[in-house]
Structure 1
């Protein structure tokens, strides 16, 4: 049976967030929408996994919810691709577990995608806990964005780089949509090969939407859909994230823009973190990683342990 939407959510040691996320989706989603829910436990400790399993078992008779266990943390892309293997939806919704629906986002996004076959991915409008606007569309990670910043790009070429931090009342095209809530055509997602599992965390959105752009598929914000994002509920310590961010950034710059852009960005980041490290010693680990060229072999992906139940 093909569903309208396959919803894929990753749990990593934050079962309460995942449970609240599922509850908000079930509460707000129209019963007329056929949904398949695939919850991927991405190598959580036993307590988190069994807390989640107990909740899902208690409601599984009423809803199509499948809990899939990986005994090792495979990262954002890897975890989502585990869910994709069992997905049967015409659309794929990848939703962070620290998300709460404010309205029927899935039906809103489906209607938009049904009417816009040139769109490969879209996302609803994100808000912080205090209902402050969170950017949903963004500009591709690139050498220009890293050297000059987003505001400069938005000023010199507003058509190519629409403002991120304003409220839109109509659907707005961007270069990519935030990874906290990405709604894909499954056909387009499959045609570009899905998430690149070389990336453990960060910049998956740029990578996916660059590949979608290569087949003339666009990315859009659909502001009628609204959700709360708690932001980084299951992240590891900050310094590891900073290093991982640079590893992923340099990887996709080289992948999509070539060796010349990669080398310029690498040199820029090395100098930036060398001098910032003189003033803020906490940045030295980031500089040392960049000095070693921040290869994929340094990624958190290679530091994960197997967690049998």
Structure 2
């Protein structure tokens, strides 16, 4: 069995180097390749990336435009030779071989479509590796209340240490492993989404096909949180809502979509610092305002 690591780089050459080095330092017990997709970094960062990685055995793919998260990773996946695809943010650091146990788990469970280890931050504090649905119930009552009242359906995300693998609605997009055939069976990442909610979307499609999304808490990795996106445009919050509205419209009828939009409008009206997002939600069909069209 072989594995393809796919790292998406956008003006984060040093973080990408550290990610690559940590993979090599904690190499999995299987054949692997490393693919770095540069999402049209600026000239200086692109030259730095090439200089930093020139002594490593890997494949660097340069996109002439910023494709966003989904399409950038799909570009890398098209060059992958592995039986499994491991998508990583550039600010991921391996602290142990957390790949081998996950591959073994996938080989034993053909009904699992994607999997992730337990996430920790730079201060070695546990961080949620999964999320719940983004739907009307969650918008109205909030995740923490639902976790308290319906713990079997909504397992606690924060300050909780799990000891056994468990299924979730969606795993975090910073570290996702798929059997390659299943990734392509469900169509890969939705390339209409530029940034945010890609993991919700693909985990939903996995579920439709009968596959589970699993957190494997018995091994871990470090996520530097925000290092891969901190240089992005200030409109990233607006982009989050654009993707949020898109995903809800994609899987729900017009009545539910309208209710979802109204709830978000009401919530935003109570937060003056986010009023600039209101036009995005009011319009509903707001993809024309996506950063995709600015090609950051």
Q: What's the counterpart of residue 45 of structure 2?
A: 48
- C-alpha distance in 1 between matches for 2:166 and 2:59: 34
- Measured after TM superposition, the shift of residue 224 of structure 1 is 2.1
Q: What's the counterpart of residue 286 of structure 1?
A: 277
- Measured after TM superposition, the shift of residue 259 of structure 1 is 1.6
| Cα offsets for 1:232-273 (capped at 9, x unmatched) | 113256751211111111111111122222111211222222
Of 63, 67, 71, which residue of structure 2 is paired with 1:78? 71
Of 142, 163, 181, which residue of structure 1 is paired with 2:156? 163
Report matched runs for 1:90-169 at 5 Å: 90-165=83-158, 166-169=160-163
- Measured after TM superposition, the shift of residue 226 of structure 1 is 0.8
- Name the SS of the counterpart of 1:168 in structure 2: coil
Report matched runs for 1:191-230 at 5 Å: 191-230=185-224
- C-alpha distance in 2 between matches for 1:233 and 1:121: 24
Q: What's the counterpart of residue 228 of structure 2?
A: 234
- Measured after TM superposition, the shift of residue 222 of structure 1 is 0.8
- C-alpha distance in 2 between matches for 1:111 and 1:245: 34
- Measured after TM superposition, the shift of residue 157 of structure 1 is 2.4
- Name the SS of the counterpart of 1:36 in structure 2: strand
Alignment length, in residue pairs?
A: 294
TM-score, length-scaled by structure 2: 0.95
- C-alpha distance in 2 between matches for 1:232 and 1:258: 34
Indicate yes or no: 2:266 matched with 1:266. Answer: no
- C-alpha distance in 2 between matches for 1:283 and 1:237: 18
Whether the 8 Å CA contact 2:245–2:281 is kept in 1: the answer is no
- Name the SS of the counterpart of 1:59 in structure 2: coil
Indicate yes or no: 2:161 matched with 1:176. Answer: no
- Name the SS of the counterpart of 2:215 in structure 1: strand
- Name the SS of the counterpart of 2:83 in structure 1: strand
Unaligned runs of at least 5 residues, structure 2: none
TM-score, length-scaled by structure 1: 0.91
- C-alpha distance in 2 between matches for 1:199 and 1:186: 21
How large is the Cα RMSD of the aligned pairs?
1.5
- C-alpha distance in 2 between matches for 1:26 and 1:263: 48
Relative distance call for 1:218 and 1:164 in structure 2 (3 A) is: same
Unaligned runs of at least 5 residues, structure 1: none
Whether the 8 Å CA contact 2:139–2:264 is kept in 1: the answer is no
Q: What's the counterpart of residue 241 of structure 2?
A: 246
Q: What's the counterpart of residue 4 of structure 1?
A: 2
- C-alpha distance in 2 between matches for 1:287 and 1:221: 35
- Name the SS of the counterpart of 1:246 in structure 2: helix
